[in-house]
Structure 1
Amino acid sequence: MASLPRIPANRAVRGAVHRHEHLTRQGLLERAFTFAFRGLVYAQIWEDPEVDLEALAITPTSRIVTIASGGCNVLSYLTANPAAITAVDLNTAHVALGRLKIAAARHLPDHAAFHRFFAQANRADNIDAYRRYVAPHLDDVSRRYWEGRDLIGRRRITGFAKGFYRTGLLGGFIGAAHLVARLYRVDPRVLLAARTIEEQRAIFEDKLAPVFDKRFVRWLTDQPASLFGLGIPPAQYEALAGADPEGSMAAVLKARLEKLACHFALSDNYFAWQAFGRGYGEGPAAPLPPYLRREHYAAVTDRIDRIDIRHANMIEYLDTMPDASLDRYILLDAQDWMTDAVLTRLWNAITRTAAPGARVLFRTAAAPSLLPGRVAQETLDRWEYCAEQSLDLTRRDRSAIYGGVHLYVLKR
């Protein structure tokens, strides 16, 4: 892959997040979030790829554009055999991670090495594999990122020898949450000993739920900066808090964690293992994202060249594309960040570039779709909102942290 120019990420993120003047309370919070967002945020993406694959109904002619984030879902979409995937992201670390995964899929010798690198991600031999198989094939910008040093002087690539999923803003947030729980003599890992969903619920209600009622926890979660580790900017924090009638963030987080802990079997939910165990489970039966499963390895590696990862803004990328040239759009929860003017630009660009039958999938912190009343009705009239299917997708999204999963289909 050829070297690519470095884009000023801070400026792009500022444009997406900053809505208020510098010296206002909200303005200060927005700028603090921008500072926190400069590095790796998501070592693993937190949108359920199996829900995505069902909603998107990908075909061999599908041309997908998505936000890259941790790159897991980008590779997982290959299992459905699309024609092409373009993944864009404003975060340079996410772009570097996506390109690392592509290079690893191309050049690691077998599934065992690929699994060890990304499913275990805590083995010293991963660094040897990186140097021997992956590094020579990385673009210059991504290689500089991984061989550069973090804030405490460690080369970033060594995260794959020490527990990569404990790194990044989200990994640090989960670690801090474990620490707070231990202050109340609760070890979140106890949930992973459950053998049935009934046992999961009993452990949650006895051990974990009471932590959210502690005065310090209620105070801490009422501070918007406390959720920067979830990648939640101030505007999205407000939407999330609004999911509780009394605006209690502790109550919202408790409800979301209850779904994660109690609604899905541990044998089928790798998000629970990440939240309560800070990594994937061990053994051949441990749940994994589709791209890491042995049965999908050949499909992922055979199709890996269909992915193009770009350090770019979604709207600016769409503005370069011809009319009716794309048919699958995945926006993650990025619209929660957006002003009405930016939402309008985005949906105008999506509608112009959408081929017949195109699908748009996104998530929101609150339950309802955020588009009505914010995007022009004449634009929304071009799209069918799949209300019942969206509710069903939300119910079955194993990551459990979003209030709503929303699917729109272009009318024919």
Structure 2
Amino acid sequence: MTATAALPFTAPAPHIIDAAVVRHHAGLRQRLMDRAFALAFRGLVYAQIWEDPVVDMQALDIQPGDRIVTIASGSCNALSYLVADPAQITAVDLNTAHIALGRLKQAAFTHLPDYAALRRFLIEADHRDNPATYASTLAPHLDEATRRYWQGRDAIGRRRIGGFARGIYRRGLLGHFIGAAHLLARAYGVDLRAVLAARDMAEQRAIFDATIAPLFDKAFIRWLTNQPASLFGLGIPPAQFDALAGDARMAHVLRARLEQLACGFPITDNYFAWQAFNRGYGRDADAPLPPCLQAAHYDTLRDRVGRVEWRHTSFTDHLRAQPAASVDRYILLDAQDWMDDAQLTDLWAQITRTARPNARVLFRTAAEETLLPGRVPDTILSRWAYDPAQARALVAADRSSIYGGLHLYRFAG
């Protein structure tokens, strides 16, 4: 079979995602909503991960020789951690589309001839020659499952690799959600891209207050954002929706998070804002990018990219197969917001068993507070140190601005 032949793609096994998302002891309506989210989550969700790797690396203090386990998601962070020179990174994910994306990005670093080619494929990601570059240069080096995904077709019959000719960052569940948000804003006469023209943070604030903030006072938007299914595109399952909203209307929560994204950091330094307001990275040579895509780190990434491995499994199941005292750093993203108490306890039992001395665990939550006390037994949690003040400082520095909490736990032994 040639590298360019059309291949069928087997979607993620439904029971794997269902087990992580569906609250089986909840009421019927909640279970139906959970299953609807699980169905949506089986395709590509994130072409770019939405956690700030610079903050991650500062908090984790990655050392040469460290072994890291992280959730893959859009894979930018797993690759960016290579800048800190760990010995090994294992990126796990329940979503096979994310695994296929990570392996494709890894192949791009390994087999494309130079940074200009990498930029065209992974940063601009909309060049008409990219599918041909994939077929000639990347596909021959990919495993069959990854080729099967990219050479297969999406729900409307388009070849998935064609996304790199039309803007991969506009694809996936999140990409479509952001596109829909732009369309909705335009229906009210607002161009969300306007904030990118701001010359300083004062102008960012003025544009947001005058044009974007009033959208959240519209009756339809208040109603729409209060429907859990409307936020599936953000990768927010119904259980996390409840934690995110709390006692407030979701429109108020989203307004505050978007305000931080638009106004909390200089636009010139925040590639998350460019993804939200531009639907892709900026094209200027000095436009902000994740560490893994910056020209200054290209040679380093190309030399170290073989240290990353991708596994289609759950975080807990991967750790269960590892030896005791074998992992230094754990990055859970916001996955714990999906978990019940039994799942959290199982996960932290495996983290504690596999933790090396001085190990660190980093995770995000929709709500501001850490979710572990009272849910994970003290016999496990007492072996970990946590600083609430540090957590507040970390989340304030996170340029993605979409989470309420960013938490660091240190292994005390």
Contact between 2:139 and 2:147, CA under 8 Å: does it hold in 1? yes
Aligned counterpart, 1:155: 159
**Could you tell me how far apart the structure 1 residues matched to 2:390 and 2:165 are?**
41
Aligned counterpart, 2:217: 213
CA 6–182 in structure 1, closer or farther in 2 if over 3 Å, else same: closer
Q: CA deviation at 1:6?
A: 7.1
Q: CA deviation at 1:391?
A: 1.1
For residues 339-387 of structure 1, give each alpha carbon's deviation from its aligned partner in whole angstroms, at most 9, with x where no partner exists.
0000000000000000000000000000000000100011111000132
> What runs of 5+ residues in structure 2 fail to find an aligned partner?
1-8
Q: Which amino acid aligns with 2:410?
A: V
Q: Which amino acid aligns with 2:342?
A: A
Q: CA deviation at 1:179?
A: 1.1
**Could you tell me how far apart the structure 2 residues matched to 1:253 and 1:408 are?**
27
**Could you tell me how far apart the structure 2 residues matched to 1:7 and 1:87 are?**
19
Contact between 1:318 and 1:353, CA under 8 Å: does it hold in 2? yes
Aligned to 2:283, the other structure's residue is in SS state coil
Correspondences of 1:148-297 after superposition (within 5 Å)? 148-242=152-246, 246-297=247-298
Contact between 1:7 and 1:311, CA under 8 Å: does it hold in 2? no
> What runs of 5+ residues in structure 1 fail to find an aligned partner?
none
Aligned counterpart, 2:62: 58
Q: CA deviation at 1:126?
A: 1.5
For residues 213-249 of structure 1, give each alpha carbon's deviation from its aligned partner in whole angstroms, at most 9, with x where no partner exists.
100000000100000000000100000001xxx4200
Aligned counterpart, 1:96: 100
**Could you tell me how far apart the structure 2 residues matched to 1:282 and 1:105 are?**
20
CA 307–181 in structure 1, closer or farther in 2 if over 3 Å, else same: same
Q: CA deviation at 1:116?
A: 1.2
Aligned counterpart, 2:5: none
Q: Which amino acid aligns with 1:96?
A: A
For residues 120-151 of structure 1, give each alpha carbon's deviation from its aligned partner in whole angstroms, at most 9, with x where no partner exists.
00111222221121010010000010010011
**Could you tell me how far apart the structure 2 residues matched to 1:38 and 1:116 are?**
28
Aligned to 1:273, the other structure's residue is in SS state helix
Aligned to 2:403, the other structure's residue is in SS state coil
Aligned counterpart, 1:378: 379
**Could you tell me how far apart the structure 1 residues matched to 2:149 and 2:47 are?**
14
Q: CA deviation at 1:21?
A: 6.2
Q: Which amino acid aligns with 2:165?
A: A
Q: CA deviation at 1:7?
A: 8.6
Aligned to 1:328, the other structure's residue is in SS state strand
Moved more, 203-212 or 107-116: 107-116
Q: Which amino acid aligns with 2:175?
A: G
Aligned counterpart, 1:84: 88
Moved more, 84-93 or 175-184: 175-184
**Could you tell me how far apart the structure 2 residues matched to 1:111 and 1:191 are?**
29
Aligned to 1:324, the other structure's residue is in SS state coil
**Could you tell me how far apart the structure 1 residues matched to 2:201 and 2:249 are?**
27
Contact between 2:12 and 2:95, CA under 8 Å: does it hold in 1? no
Q: Does 1:19 align with 2:8?
A: no
Aligned to 2:409, the other structure's residue is in SS state strand
Q: Which amino acid aligns with 2:227?
A: Q
Q: CA deviation at 1:193?
A: 0.8
**Could you tell me how far apart the structure 1 residues matched to 2:245 and 2:11 are?**
33
Correspondences of 1:301-312 after superposition (within 5 Å)? 301-312=302-313
User: What is the RMSD computed on CA atoms of the aligned residues?
Assistant: 1.3
Q: CA deviation at 1:91?
A: 0.2
For residues 17-50 of structure 1, give each alpha carbon's deviation from its aligned partner in whole angstroms, at most 9, with x where no partner exists.
1114697111110111011111000010000000
Aligned to 2:86, the other structure's residue is in SS state coil
Aligned counterpart, 2:4: none
Alignment partner of 2:111 out of 68, 92, 107: 107
Contact between 1:327 and 1:358, CA under 8 Å: does it hold in 2? yes
Q: Percent identity?
A: 63
Contact between 1:22 and 1:28, CA under 8 Å: does it hold in 2? no
**Could you tell me how far apart the structure 2 residues matched to 1:236 and 1:374 are?**
16
Q: CA deviation at 1:180?
A: 1.0
Aligned counterpart, 1:363: 364
Aligned counterpart, 2:352: 351
Moved more, 27-36 or 252-261: 27-36
Aligned to 1:327, the other structure's residue is in SS state strand
Contact between 1:9 and 1:92, CA under 8 Å: does it hold in 2? no
Q: CA deviation at 1:388?
A: 2.0
**Could you tell me how far apart the structure 1 residues matched to 2:406 and 2:129 are?**
39
Contact between 2:332 and 2:362, CA under 8 Å: does it hold in 1? yes
Q: Which amino acid aligns with 1:333?
A: D
**Could you tell me how far apart the structure 2 residues matched to 1:274 and 1:26 are?**
31
Q: Which amino acid aligns with 2:391?
A: S
Contact between 2:12 and 2:96, CA under 8 Å: does it hold in 1? no
Aligned to 2:300, the other structure's residue is in SS state helix
